[in-house]
Structures are given as C-alpha cells and as structure tokens.
C-alpha cells in the first residue's frame, strides 16, 4: 500500500489555509466563495493526477470520474463535502474527498477497472455556512430540490442566484445537477466520527449503521419587560427565567432517553438585552436527534409538553416552530455488511457499528442510491474547531478499508 492516507492528511492540511480559506486567520470556506473556487481548482489537479476526468456540475460540486470497463457505465460514487463552518477544522468532510481520490489512485496505479465507474464528488454546501439551508448542492444531485425555495440571501445580502452567476453558473440550471437513479449504483462516504466513541474504545475505524433523525426547533418566549429595580419579583413575567427552566427541562428529557437520544440548546437571544431590564422576549434553538424517528418524535412531544407547562405556570407566551426536519437514514444493510468485512480486513479487529448523531451528505444521497459510511477516529471527538485532529495510521487503515470495500462491492454487485 502506498502512503495515500498520509497524503490525504497532508492535502487537507494544505487546504486549511489561504488561499483556500476566505479568512486569512482561520479556515472558513463557504459555498461559492473565493476560497471555495481555489479549493476546487486544487482538487481538480489532484483528481487528474489520480487518473480521473473532472467537471464542475450545475450546482458547483466538483466531480472526478474514473471510467469502468465500458464507457458510460453506472458509477459507484465516493464523496463528502468541501465547504466548512467558520473557524473550522481541516478534516471534516474534506478528508473523505481526499480518501476518495486516493482510492481511485490506488486502482489506477494497478490499471484495475471494474464493470462500473468510480466517481469522487466534493459537495459544495453540506454545512449551510453561507445560505440559510444545508446540503443544497447535495439535494440538487439527489434530485430532491422540489420543495426548497431558491430565493435565498447570505448574511451580506448576496442572493444565491448572484453567487452562482459570479461563479459562472446559472440558478435556472441548478436542477440539472440531478443524477438519474440508473447512473448511480451506490454512494459511500468516509468521514471523521465527530464524536468520542471510537477513541474511547481505542478503535481506528467504525461502520455507520444509520444517521440520526433530527429536529431543529425555534422557541420564542414572550414575557413582560420591566425595570429591574422597581418590578417586584412576585409580579414578574420574566422571559429569560422561563427560558432557563425550559432549557433544564430539555436537558432532563434528552438525558432520560436511550443512549442515541440527545437534546441541545445551542443558541439564545435575549431582548432587550439590557442589564437593568427584566427580559421581555427570548428566542432559543432546540436540536433533538435520535437513531430512529420514533425516539426523536417522542422526545420532541415530551419537550413541547414540558415547555407548554412551564409557559402556563410562569404566564409567558410560547411559540415552537420547526426549522429543520430530517428523518433517520439507515445505511443499506448489504453495503453495511461489506463495509464491516472491509474494516475487519483492514484492522484485524471485529468491526464496531454505530449511529451517526451528526448529519452527512449520505442522508440526502440515500434518496438517490443505497448508502454506506465509514467513520475514522478523531482526537477527543472534537470537530468544527481548529483542534480537530486525526491519526495518520487511522487514515491509512481507512484507505485499506475503502479499497477492500470496492473490491468486495464488485464481487457482490456481479452476483
């Protein structure tokens, strides 16, 4: 085995700074920005060196294709995302794309081809760090854009249409990125775990059995603002005090469920946000995730009921609106077995299967084709932060697993 895993890490490191970032002091690579354009140009070079032809699709995704034994054969697609959150780590998403390139390079060096093509795709906006939706370009490829409004603005007031035009694309052509089902046999994604399980169990790799169902809610609490010095405590309708009790209820309900249930409040806005005024309004986020829709839905119902009881007792108003609703995405059982076998071959250890609490491009691509995911250990479970780190030996093991998976897939697909 060549040291393709080590090279994957080095390339992620190279792409972690300007000109591949819009922020010279940290990694921030939003969809269609200057850093994004530079990144796609660099990835194109690496794809060509690995033996692929390349193109940018109508959604701005980078696609490399390694032909099969016959032209126009359907493809096994390997991918992840190339965009990032602000002040990001270097391996979230990008490492999966680099491993896809190295997987192709491995087979190209041996002049080995299959009855199917291998395509490596870098999706443009999994994080939703520029426009107020996530996985827009992924949904374009999966053909699931129908219910999504495209009248979107970024925080600078730039429309999606303008951003695409500046990049050399056309909003009207965005649906043309959709791939026919018969053109894609399966989708495989390698990704850092973004959690502590593999590290805690001293495992290099894990196999994802499902991607958790997600609810993202927006709670608005309305109280009565008043002077902090003159409003008696027993007469207050303090929106922040009510919201604080609600946050504790959310934590309690999330902690009382099965291990795969989590509930988080990560953002809170207090109005009027003045030290000597009793808060009159509070808006906060609620993120609920679980391995199954049923567990997530029961938790959401319990949280809504608890918040309504608190609001009634404290005489504040409450509105809870759904902002994000993603169903649980089970990985294909047949592909999961192949990946488990590939991981066992690569690591000489029984494979560990786990549910992904984080969302991934695979959960959207499941509408187009069967999906499989491979996890790599990351230090401390840290992600979306500059401290994000991986071990080179783990990435080498991941590359061995990916190449072994494809060979197994070829035998499996042929019957």
Q: What is the CATH number of the domain that holds 292?
A: 3.30.70.360
For the record, the structure tokens of 403 come out as: 């190449």
SS3 for 49-105, per residue? HCCCEEEECCCCCEEEEECCCCCCCCEEEEEEECCCCCCCCCCCCHHHHHHHHHHHH
Q: Which residues are annotated as a binding site for allantoate?
A: 216, 276, 289
Between CA 15 and CA 36 the distance in angstroms is: 10
Between CA 143 and CA 14 the distance in angstroms is: 33
- β-bridge pairing 117-123 and 226-227: unpaired
Q: What is the pLDDT along the chain (415 residues), one digit of tens a residue?
A: 458 999 999 999 999 999 999 999 999 999 999 999 999 999 999 999 999 999 999 999 999 999 999 999 999 999 999 999 999 999 999 999 999 999 999 999 999 999 999 999 999 999 988 998 889 999 999 999 987 889 999 989 999 999 999 999 999 999 999 999 999 999 999 999 999 999 999 999 999 999 999 998 999 999 999 999 999 999 999 999 999 999 999 999 999 999 889 999 999 999 999 999 999 999 999 999 998 999 999 999 999 999 999 999 999 999 999 987 888 999 999 999 999 999 999 999 999 999 898 889 999 999 999 999 999 999 999 999 999 999 999 999 999 999 999 999 999 988 7
Number of structural domains found in the chain: 2
Residue that is last in its domain, among 326, 343, 373: 326
For the record, the structure tokens of 260 come out as: 């795969």
**Residue labelled with tokens 């839905």:** 297
DSSP per residue over 363-412, as a string?
HHHTTTS-EEEEEE--GGG--SSTT----HHHHHHHHHHHHHHHHHHHHH
Q: Which residues are annotated as a binding site for Zn(2+)?
A: 81, 92, 127, 191, 384
In this structure, what CATH number is given to the domain that contains residue 156?
3.40.630.10
Shared-domain flag, residues 187 and 46: yes
**Cα torsion for 26, 30, 32, 38, to the nearest 10°?**
30
Shared-domain flag, residues 178 and 99: yes
Reference 150, options 72, 357, 165; nearest CA is 165
Region label for 200, one of left (φ > 0), alpha (ψ between -120 and 50) or beta (otherwise): alpha
- The vertex-78 CA angle with 187 and 215, nearest 5°, equals 55
Shared-domain flag, residues 50 and 111: yes
Quote the pTM value: 0.86
Shared-domain flag, residues 391 and 312: no
Q: Which residues are annotated as a binding site?
A: 81, 92, 127, 191, 216, 276, 289, 384
Q: What are phi and psi of 113, to 5 degrees?
A: -125, 165
Shared-domain flag, residues 176 and 155: yes
């Amino acid at each position: 085995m060549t040291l393709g895993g080590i090279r994957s890490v080095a390339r992620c490191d190279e792409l972690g700074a300007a000109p591949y970032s819009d922020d010279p002091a940290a990694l921030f690579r939003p969809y269609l920005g200057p850093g994004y354009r530079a990144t796609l140009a660099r990835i194109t070079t690496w794809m060509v060196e690995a033996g692929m032809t390349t193109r940018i699709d109508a959604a701005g995704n980078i696609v490399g294709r390694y032909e099969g034994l016959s032209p126009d054969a359907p493809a096994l697609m390997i991918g992840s995302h190339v965009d990032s959150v602000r002040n990001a780590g270097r391996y979230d998403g990008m490492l999966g794309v680099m491993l896809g390139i190295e997987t192709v390079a491995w087979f190209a060096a041996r002049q080995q081809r299959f009855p199917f093509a291998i395509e490596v795709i870098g999706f443009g906006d999994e994080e939703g760090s520029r426009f107020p939706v996530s996985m827009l370009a992924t949904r374009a490829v999966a053909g699931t854009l129908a219910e999504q409004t495209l009248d979107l603005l970024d925080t600078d007031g730039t429309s999606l249409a303008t951003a695409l035009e500046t990049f050399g694309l056309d909003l009207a052509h965005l649906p043309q990125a959709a791939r026919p089902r018969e053109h894609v046999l399966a989708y495989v994604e390698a990704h850092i775990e973004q959690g502590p399980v593999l590290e805690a169990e001293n495992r290099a790799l894990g196999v994802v059995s499902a991607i958790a169902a997600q609810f993202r809610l927006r709670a608005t609490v309305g109280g009565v603002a008043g002077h902090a010095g003159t409003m008696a405590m027993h007469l207050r309708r303090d929106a922040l005090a009510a919201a604080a009790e609600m946050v504790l209820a959310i934590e309690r309900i999330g902690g009382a469920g099965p291990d795969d249930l989590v509930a988080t409040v990560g953002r809170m806005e207090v109005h009027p946000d003045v030290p000597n005024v009793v808060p009159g309004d509070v808006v906060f986020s609620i993120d609920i995730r679980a391995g199954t829709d049923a567990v997530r839905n029961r938790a959401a119902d319990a949280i809504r009921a608890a918040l309504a009881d608190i609001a009634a007792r404290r005489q504040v108003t409450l509105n809870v609106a759904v902002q994000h609703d993603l169903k649980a995405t089970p990985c294909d059982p047949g592909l999961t077995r192949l990946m488990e076998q590939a991981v066992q071959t690569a690591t000489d250890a029984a494979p560990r299967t786990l549910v992904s609490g984080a969302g991934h491009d695979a959960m959207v691509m499941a509408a187009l084709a069967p999906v499989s995911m491979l996890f790599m250990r990351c230090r401390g479970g840290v992600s979306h932060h500059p401290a994000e780190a991986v071990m080179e030996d783990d990435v080498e093991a991941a590359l061995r697993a990916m190449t072994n998976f494809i060979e197994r897939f070829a035998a499996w697909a042929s019957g």
